[in-house]
Amino acid sequence: MHLTQNLRFQARENPNEPVGECGPGGAVMRALSAGLSARAWETSALECWRDGGWVVFCKRENSELQIILSATQDGEWSLQIAPKKSSLFGRSGQRPSASPTDVHRLALDVHALLEKDVTFALPRWCWDDFPDSKNSSPAPRAANS
């Protein structure tokens, strides 16, 4: 079963935007969070993710997801959309907090919001892997496609 939608893309942050406590990407995540709220997603406050990234939690109906963003190299970004809670290999008996359909719906909204940014370029989306030229598409695909 597919679990995560992963995106690599290029974008430039505003050089006048201060780098937040979690590293670059704060302005991108704030814009995504506000845009998702306008699209009927309930979003949490932004939080630091590991050593240099951002995470925001999103809820709609019975699904709970997370979006993680980090800078990977000059002008390139990595973003992952995943259930907030998942069971490792299904061992715990607990179901993930979002279905592949929920993950895809959020990915479509994220993609639409990022497309509004004039610096957004070269999006590469894929399921459950680090996107590259062989395994990705320029827009999120449904889990069964």
Domain ranges of the chain: 5-127
Query: For residue 84, which of 27, 4, 142, 141 has the smallest C-alpha distance?
Result: 4
Q: How many CB atoms lie within 10 A of CB 20?
A: 15
Give whole-number Cα distances, 97 to 11, 18, 61, 82, in Å. Answer: 30, 34, 11, 9
Name the token pair of 105.
């719906």
User: In sequence order, what are the beta bridge partners of 20?
Assistant: 23
The alpha-carbon radius of gyration of the chain (Å, integer) is 15
What tens digit of pLDDT does each residue of 81-135 get? 999 876 554 555 678 889 999 999 999 999 999 999 878 999 999 999 999 999 9
Q: How confident is the model at residue 62 (pLDDT cuts 50, 70, 90)?
A: very high
Q: CA nearest 77: which of 20, 23, 137, 18?
A: 23
The correct answer on CATH 3.20.20.70 for the domain covering 5-127 is no
Q: CA angle, corner 54, sides to 57 and 17, nearest 5? A: 125
> Could you report the per-residue pLDDT of 17-48, keeping only the tens digit for each?
777 777 888 888 999 999 999 999 999 999 98
